[in-house]
Amino acid sequence: MPSVYLSPSTQEFNPYAGGGNEEEYMNLIADEMLPYLEANGIQVIRNIPEMTAASSITASNAGEYDLHLSLHSNASPEGQEGTQRGSLVFYYPGSANGRRAAELIAENLRRIYPLPQLVQALPTTTLGEVVRTRAPAVLIEFAYHDNPDDAAWIRNNVSAIAENVAQSLAQYFGIPFLSPARPLPALVDTEGSYLNIRSRPSLSAPVVAQAYDGAYLTVLNRWNSWYLVRFGCLTGYASSDYITLL
């Protein structure tokens, strides 16, 4: 299943109009994203507020991730404080996957940002978390935190923003978007054969694991006739016809 290095801003010194700061609200969005990512089988490693952009890049590059996702808010240039609005999604111009992810995220953000014409996916060669990461990378500047209307939009829509970005990630990885559900214990019931666990809910998807008849696993979610399951340390999709809930 896909993996993401999630890097919410560690810039607590960037104040929001009306209260709060960039680190606080980006971490709140990340908090709200985690249940959605788990519900969709997307594995996540996340930075912590004590880190910096540089140490987040180092940590990301030390692993094998399918996407590096940075969560930020923006600020107008000095002398123009509070005058700008918009949502910008940055990618490295040499990365086809980074661009595809950025364009999907921007497309979906237009559904919830109050001025959709100001949502753009843009190339950059200057932002470290886009340029210096091994994995395809996207950096989202959700809105301008020095603009009272933009700051209020982030503050009042943390959950909606988190769900929206999680939906974009599921779309990017080619898996159905599922809402969080209560995990359930289950048993493989194949009458002697192995149960194939696949990377996506399709018989043509690669097999990532095989569970023996009678094996215990955890059902995380359901999509049509497929269960999203955790078997040991692996997560994938398996036919519900061969699984008995306990």
Alpha helices in the chain (DSSP H): 22-39, 53-61, 96-109, 128-131, 148-156, 158-173
Reply yes or no on whether the pLDDT at 147 is more than 90: yes
For 227-237, write each residue's pLDDT tens digit.
999 999 899 99
Percent of the chain with pLDDT over 70: 100
Same domain, residue pair 42 and 123: yes
In a domain? residue 90: yes
Same domain, residue pair 56 and 162: yes
**Predicted pLDDT at 74:** 98
Select from 173, 208, 224 the last residue of a domain: 173
In a domain? residue 22: yes
For 87-138, write each residue's pLDDT tens digit.
999 999 999 999 999 999 999 999 999 999 999 999 999 999 999 999 999 9
Same domain, residue pair 46 and 99: yes
Select from 154, 173, 192 the last residue of a domain: 173
In a domain? residue 124: yes
Q: Are strands 119-123 and 87-91 parallel, antiparallel or unpaired?
A: parallel
For 48-70, write each residue's pLDDT tens digit.
999 999 999 999 999 999 999 99
**Predicted pLDDT at 80:** 93
**Predicted pLDDT at 44:** 97
Q: Residue 226 sits in which domain range? A: 184-245
Output the six-digit token pair for 55: 């140490």
Residues 6+ apart with CB under 8 A from 116: 110
Select from 119, 138, 173 the last residue of a domain: 173
Alpha carbons 201 and 177: distance in angstroms, whole number: 12
In whole numbers, what is the pLDDT of the chain averaged over residues?
96
**Predicted pLDDT at 224:** 95
Give me the number of domains the chain comprises. Answer: 2
The answer to whether 89 touches 122, Cβ cutoff 8 Å, is yes
In a domain? residue 107: yes
Confidence of residue 208 (pLDDT cuts 50, 70, 90): very high
- What CATH number is given to the structural domain containing 126? 3.40.630.40
Alpha carbons 223 and 166: distance in angstroms, whole number: 17
**Predicted pLDDT at 214:** 96
Segment 182-209 shows an average pLDDT of 95
- What CATH number is given to the structural domain containing 234? 2.30.30.40
Reply yes or no on whether the pLDDT at 16 is more than 90: yes
What is the DSSP code string of 173-192? HT---------EEEEE--TT
Confidence of residue 140 (pLDDT cuts 50, 70, 90): very high
**Predicted pLDDT at 46:** 97
Segment 149-157 shows an average pLDDT of 98
**Predicted pLDDT at 211:** 96
Output the six-digit token pair for 112: 């919830």
State the pTM of this model: 0.93
Same domain, residue pair 18 and 129: yes
Same domain, residue pair 26 and 58: yes
**Predicted pLDDT at 1:** 85
**Predicted pLDDT at 3:** 96
**Predicted pLDDT at 225:** 96
